[in-house]
Amino acid sequence: MIVQTLSVSFPTMAPGILPGAMVDSLQGVADSGLVESPVPDPIIHLVQWIFQRPGWVMILGIVLGAAVGFAALWFLWKHRADIWTWLTTRSRGTKIVMGSTVGVFLLALLGMGYKVNHYMEHDNDFCRGCHIFIPAGQPFVRPDTGTYLIVNQLEGKHDALECHDCHTPDMKAQILELGLWMIDRPDMVPEHAKVPPTVCKSCHEKGEAKEFWEEIATTAGHRVHFESDSLKDKDVECLTCHARSAHRFVPVDSTCAQQGCHLTDDVTIRLTKMAEAKQSGLLRMHCAVCHEFAAEVPKLATVDSAGGTLRPGNEQCFSCHEMEERLKDFDPRRDPHSGKCGMCHNMHTNIEPADARKSCTTAGCHDDWERVEFHTGKIHRQAVENCETCHTPHAARVDASACADCHERVRGSVTGKVRKPPLPFDTTKALRSLSARPDPIGPHGKGDAPPDEDPPAAFVSPAPADSFEHAEHKAVACLTCHATSSATSMLNFETPRGCQLCHHSAGAERACAACHDASALTVAANRVTVAVPAHAPRPRDVSFQHSQHTELACKECHTTPVSLAPGAEVKGCASCHKQHHTEAEDCAACHAGGDIEAPHTPPAVAHEGCDACHTPARIAQLTPSRSFCLTCHQPQQADHYPAQECTPCHLDATPAEWRSRLVGGRGT
C-alpha cells in the first residue's frame, strides 16, 4: 500500500470546460491532494500505466481482455469432462496443493474485491479521483455547479462524513461514468448520486437534533416554504436552498433568486445603492438582511401570518436608513401607509428614493385617482401629474402648508391683474367681489402720462374681511373644510353647522367659556304654564339665568348634537324643576325675599286681598306678625325696633286685627 499523488491533466480530461488560467491553478490544488490507493505497490504502477493511456487504448484493452476471458471460459466449459477426469486422477498430495493454491487465490481475489468495493463505497479518495475539492479561502474558487467537477471541500461537522453517507451510488450510473471518463468525455457525465431530502432528515430531524429542528421548522421562512399550498413550493427540498453552492450549506443570496422561485421574468432583483456599506466598501446584501427568514412565529399562526412576518417593516429599513436624521420632519406615526416602507420603495428595482413616486398610481393603491374630481378639475389638473406637489412623502395626507404653497398667490393677484392693496387669504366669495372693481385710470391719450398714484376713486374699498380666520386654523388641514369631491373645491359644509362640527365636538372636554361669554348671553324668555290650585292655569314668561346655574356643566342642558342647542325639555325647565305649584307646597320655601317682591310691588296692594292669588285655606294659616313682614322687609330685620310688631305703627292695627284684611281686602 502506498500514498499516491493524484495527477490530473485538465486539458485532456475536460477540454473547453475551464479557462486555462483556472486550470493551471486547480492543477496545483489537485497535485497537492494525497490520494491513498487500495491497490498493492507492485500492481499500482501497472494500474496507473493503464489508466494513463489514451481512451481508445483503454477501451481496446477492455475489449481484448473481455474476449480473452470469454475464450478461456468457453475452452474450460467445452473441456470440462476432460479437466475433471484429469483432476480426479491426481494423487492426494497433488490435490491438496492444487486446492490450497486455488483457495488462496480466491481468498486473495475476494479480499481485494472487498477492499476495492470498500474503497469505492466508503473512501472519499475514490470520489477525489474525479472531483476536485477546493478548501475555503482559495481566491480563485468559483465552484462548478454544472458538472460538479470542482466542488467545495466539506467543513465543520460535515467534514467527518463519507461522500456516500449522503450521495447514494448507483451501479449503472457509475459504470456509465467510468466509460465516459475513459473516452475523455467528463462533460457528458450526467447528474448522479443526488441527495434526497430523507438523507438530511435522517440527521437533522431525528435523535439529538430533533428538538433543535422543531425550533427551526417553526420559523417564518421554513413554514412558508414547507407548508405552502403553492405549486411553486411543492418541490422545495432542503438542498434547494442549502446546497445552491456544492457543499456550502449556508444559504446565499442566489438561493432566493433561483429561476422559478423569486426571480422571474417580471421580477429583477437589483439592489443598487443598497449594497453599499457605510464604512467598509461594498457589502453583499443577503435577502435575509431585510426578510427575517428565521423570525419566530407562534405555533398556532397560519402560513399567511408567517408570510407577513417575512415582509420587511420599518425596523428593518431603519437599521440602515436613519430617516430621523435625514428628514427632520419624518414621523412614522403620521404615515398613512401603516409604516411599511416597501409599499412605495421597491428596493429590488428602485435606484433613487424619488423613484417611489412612480408607484403611487401603479402599485394598486391610488390607481383610481382620476375618478376624484379634485384631481381632474380645472384648478388642479396641471399639478396632478406630480403627487408630491401636494402630498408630502412619508406624511401623504395634505396639510394646510401644502395648499398655502400655491394659494398664497391669491393675496396679490387675481386673473393675472395686480390689485392694491393685496387681499388677505380670503374665501372664494370675497375674491369674486373683485370682478366689480374698476381698473386703474389710464392715460387719456398718447401724450398723457398716467398719474404717479392712483386717485382714490380708482379702487373701491377692499373686499370684506374673511369671516373665517385662516390664521386661527393653521393646524387644521385644508381638506377638513374644502371638499375633494368637487372640481371647484367648494366647502364641505355650510355655516354655522360646519363650524360646529369641529368646535362642538367632544363638548364635555371643551371649555365653552373660551368662546362664549356667559355674561353677554341673552336668552329669550320662555313661556311656561303655572298651575295654582283653585285657579285657572296662568302663563308666565321665564328667562333662563346662567348666573343662577353656574354649578351645572353646559352639556347637561345643551344636548342637541352638533348645534348643542337646549332641548325642548330643557327650555321648559321640566328636565330639572318638577311641577311644584300645588296646594301642599309652601310658596315661601322657594319664593323668599326678592322672589316674592316682584308680584307684590305697587300698584299691587301687597298687604291685603291675598285671596286674589292664594287659597283661603293657605291664607288662614298666615298671621301678619313681625316675622311675616320681614319676609319682604329684610333690611329692617336687624335694627328696626327688633322687639316691636310692625302692624301697629305701619298699618294702625294689631297683627290679629289686620289678619282679617288678608282676605278680600275688607275688614271684619
Domain boundary among 585, 607, 637: 585
Residue 600 is assigned to a structural domain of this protein: yes
The string of DSSP codes covering 475-513 is TS-GGGTB-SS-TT--BSS-TTHHHHHHHTTTGGGS-GG
DSSP, collapsed to helix, strand or coil, labels residue 506 as coil
What is the model's pLDDT at position 67? 93
Residue 474 is assigned to a structural domain of this protein: yes
- Residue 483's CB is within 10 A of a number of other CB atoms, namely 15
Q: How many domains in the chain?
A: 5
Q: How far is CA 147 from CA 17, 192, 213, 356, in A?
A: 9, 10, 32, 43
Helix locations, 205-302, DSSP H: 210-217, 220-227, 238-242, 253-256
What is the model's pLDDT at position 446? 41
Phi first, then psi: give them for residue 529, nearest 5 degrees: -105, 125
Q: Do 531 and 478 share a structural domain?
A: no
- What are 160-212's pLDDT values in tens digits? 888 888 888 777 777 787 778 777 777 777 777 778 878 888 888 777 778 78
Single-letter amino acid code for the residue at 26: L
Looking up cell 500514498 gives 3
Q: Do 241 and 182 share a structural domain?
A: no
Q: Do 140 and 102 share a structural domain?
A: yes
How far apart are alpha carbons 241 and 230 in whole angstroms?
17
Domain boundary among 284, 311, 338: 311
Single-letter amino acid code for the residue at 659: R
How far apart are alpha carbons 169 and 622 in whole angstroms?
126
Q: Do 204 and 180 share a structural domain?
A: no
Residue 77 is assigned to a structural domain of this protein: yes
Domain boundary among 566, 585, 604: 585
Q: Do 296 and 254 share a structural domain?
A: yes
**What is residue 586's DSSP assignment?**
-
How far apart are alpha carbons 394 and 353 in whole angstroms?
12
Q: Pairing relation of β-strands 132-134 and 150-152?
A: parallel
Mean pLDDT by 10 residues, the chain (668 residues): 36 40 48 55 68 77 89 91 87 89 91 82 78 70 64 79 82 78 74 79 79 83 81 72 74 69 64 49 64 84 84 78 66 68 76 75 73 74 74 66 62 43 39 43 43 42 51 71 63 68 64 74 74 69 79 82 78 74 62 61 70 76 82 76 86 85 62
Q: Do 176 and 36 share a structural domain?
A: yes
Q: Do 646 and 626 share a structural domain?
A: yes
Q: Do 478 and 531 share a structural domain?
A: no
Residue 346 is assigned to a structural domain of this protein: no
Q: Do 279 and 402 share a structural domain?
A: no
Residue 516 is assigned to a structural domain of this protein: no
- Rg value, the chain, Cα: 54
How far apart are alpha carbons 668 and 665 in whole angstroms?
10
DSSP, collapsed to helix, strand or coil, labels residue 378 as coil
How far apart are alpha carbons 261 and 259 in whole angstroms?
6
Q: Do 595 and 560 share a structural domain?
A: no
Q: Which residues contact 110 (CB under 8 A, 6 or more apart)?
A: none
Single-letter amino acid code for the residue at 57: V
First to last CA, the chain: 158
Q: Do 532 and 488 share a structural domain?
A: no
The burial class, CB within 10 Å (0-12 / 13-18 / 19+), for 597 is: middle
- Residue 643's CB is within 10 A of a number of other CB atoms, namely 5
Task: Give the range of the structural domain holding residue 654, as residue numbers without chain letter.
Answer: 588-662
Q: Do 130 and 18 share a structural domain?
A: yes
Residue 157 is assigned to a structural domain of this protein: yes
What is the model's pLDDT at position 14? 38
Long-range contacts, stretch 132-141, CB < 8 angstroms, 24+ apart: 132/8, 132/26, 132/29, 132/30, 132/33, 133/33, 133/247, 134/26, 134/29, 138/29, 140/22, 140/25, 140/26
- What are 546-598's pLDDT values in tens digits? 878 888 888 888 888 777 888 777 777 777 877 666 655 666 666 655 556 66
What is the model's pLDDT at position 6? 38
Helix locations, 158-207, DSSP H: 163-166, 171-182, 197-204
Helix locations, 79-91, DSSP H: 80-88
pTM beyond cutoff 0.75: no
How far apart are alpha carbons 587 and 600 in whole angstroms?
14
Residue 350 is assigned to a structural domain of this protein: no
Residue 448 is assigned to a structural domain of this protein: no
What is the model's pLDDT at position 278? 40
